[in-house]
Structure 1
Amino acid sequence: MKPNGDANGVTALEVSAVSHSYGSKRALNDVSFSITPGNFTVLLGLNGAGKTTLFSLISHLYDTRHGSIRIFGNDISRAPGEALRRLGIVFQARTLDLDLSVYQNLSYHASLHGIGAREARRRIDALLASVDMADRRHDKARSLSGGQMRRIEIARALLHRPSLLLLDEATVGLDIQSRAGILATIRKLVATDGIGVLWATHLIDEVEENDHVVVLREGNLVAKGNVKEVILSTGMNTIREAFSQLSGLDAQQSEGLAP
């Protein structure tokens, strides 16, 4: 597949021949793909496929020892500051301080990025409005539902205006309405702001027809391309059937790919 790039030929994210091991256990094996600015890419994989390990490497929580990762041309190992400046992350685990208010959580994060108080207030107000949480700005985080917490984490990840957003199983544990709302919020960002998104999930119903898809199985990249290309490469009729085949699932197991 031809590498994705913006008008200047720079990719939002380029993962090249990345491998990673935990002792003798290989978690990723020679993984390569790229993401276009303004593109929604779904990283599909069952639990243990390597999605979280890959996110930890992209976000520089782990050092990349085999292969390279570039964010808008900046190598995460050689220029981590510049690379991470372009990156926003929403991890699977909840990370809000439950004893602080929504505004305090966001304000603290803004200060970590060197954003002044006046500018932070302006950005926080705009982002809370964009995720439909403006009326909860003074509420403590512990009073929010799971879906509301996730919306605040998304707002927080966008405070420093990244060009690439990573979300690791962002809808796990949420009800159907909350899941749909989170997905709609992120897809709107792609359409209106041109942000690049890597959305990791094992839930096949979160994939839409125009998405790009990267499929991991036991640390190996087994398919990549747009939805139609991945379906055609397997000889299946739907993306659910294609993912089931690529992941080695039988018919009964594939029923677990949606809540």
Structure 2
Amino acid sequence: MTVPALEAAGLRHSYGGGRMALEDAAFTVMPGHFTCLLGPNGAGKSTLFALATGLLRPTAGHVRIHGHDIALEPGKALARMGVVFQQPTLDLDLTVMQNLRYFAALHGIGRREANRRIEAELVRLSLYERAGEKVRALNGGHRRRAEIARALLHRPSLLLLDEPTVGLDIPARRTLIRHVHALCAGDGTGDDGDRIAVLWATHLIDEIDPATDHVVVLHRGRVRASGAAPAVSAAAGCATVAEAFDRLTATRPAKESSSIGEAAA
């Protein structure tokens, strides 16, 4: 039986004053799947990412990365994970190559092997010709691709991207989405040989491939539905993912929302 790349179960988190950011969130991301964590602003997507990456500890529930509970086995869990946060984290005054070599060194990857991996990732992301340029000189799309290349250097089998297209123009968004889909389609594998799984957080419907992607619809801290995009649409009684999203994120009784989520899972 295939172990999920990411499994969230009974996940709850509250901030000061008892404000609940997530409540009983549960879903899985399987190897080779491009899964969109879809929700409006304020739905709890960034909180969920902070829990999934170990930056926050849940009030209840757990997150497992390839079977490793991130709270109990953080080293093993994080070793299988690459992350691109919403806010850029590259050093603007270093070149692309310098940024990636520094990251590789932090992961204990030797210089020769690091150079080999860096070249392979930059070629795959159509960025090799910019390797010697300072990050400050790159446009937003190229910076995002450099961050993805960096996140893949230690060959994770799960890639998490939090609103990665924020601030990008339409052509850059499309290029980035195409590159990441290609990873799931077989261009990328982790050190363990598993096809890369992707969890892509977004509030933009047009970033989803309605035929092949999986979706997790998050609204007001609750998972309203999860599963293959066509199944989620059908369970919501809608013809498209966009219509399903509108219906699932409208104000509705909790019982009805729960039943839709179970049918689509």
User: After TM superposition, is the score higher than 0.5?
Assistant: yes
Aligned to 1:96: 90
Give the equivalent residue in structure 2 for 1:137: 131
Inter-partner Cα distance in structure 2 for 1:205 and 1:21: 31
**Structure 2 unaligned blocks of 5 or more:** 189-194, 252-265
State the Cα RMSD in Å. 1.0
Give the conservation status (yes or no) of the 8 Å contact 2:34–2:181.
yes
Residues 220-229 or 149-158, more deviating: 220-229
Q: Which moved more, 1:61-70 or 1:24-33?
A: 61-70
Post-superposition CA distance 1:95-141 (Å, at most 9, x none): 11001111010000001111011111111111111111111111100
Match of 1:197 in 2: 198
Please, what TM-score do these two structures have when normalized by structure 2?
0.89
Q: Relative to structure 2, which stretch is displaced further, 195-204 or 60-69?
A: 60-69
CA–CA distance in structure 1, aligned partners of residues 185 and 69 of structure 2? 27
**Displacement after TM superposition at 1:9 (Å):** 2.9
Map of 1:114 onto structure 2? 108
Matched, 1:174 2:176: no
- Percent identical: 54
CA shift for structure 1 position 176: 1.0
The total of aligned residue pairs comes to: 242
Matched, 1:10 2:3: yes
Higher mean C-alpha displacement, 167-176 vs 143-152: 167-176
CA distance in 2, matches of 1:74, 1:198: 17
Query: What is the Cα deviation at residue 51 of structure 1?
Result: 0.5
Give CA-to-partner distance per residue, 1:144-165, whole Å, 9 cap, x none.
Answer: 0000000000000000000000
Following TM superposition, by how much is the alpha carbon of 1:63 offset from its aligned partner in structure 2, in angstroms?
1.5
Q: Which runs of 5+ in 1 are unaligned?
A: 1-7, 250-259
TM-score (ref. length: structure 1): 0.91
Partner of 2:228: 226
Which deviations, in whole Å up to 9, do the C-alpha atoms of 1:26-71 show, x marking residues without a partner? 0000000111111111100001000110000010011233101100
| Partner Cα separation in structure 1 for residue 91 and residue 163 of structure 2 | 20
How far does residue 228 in structure 1 lie from its aligned partner after superposition? 1.5
Q: Which of the numbers 49, 53, 57 marks the counterpart of 1:59?
A: 53
Amino acid at match of 1:197: V
**Paired residue secondary structure (1:178):** helix
Equivalent in the alignment of 1:253: none
| Greater mean alpha carbon deviation, residues 229-238 or residues 219-228 | 229-238
Give the match's secondary structure for 1:103: helix
Partner Cα separation in structure 2 for residue 15 and residue 210 of structure 1: 22
Q: Which runs of 4+ in 1 moved over 2 A?
A: none
What displacement does 1:202 show?
0.5
What residue number does 1:211 align with? 213
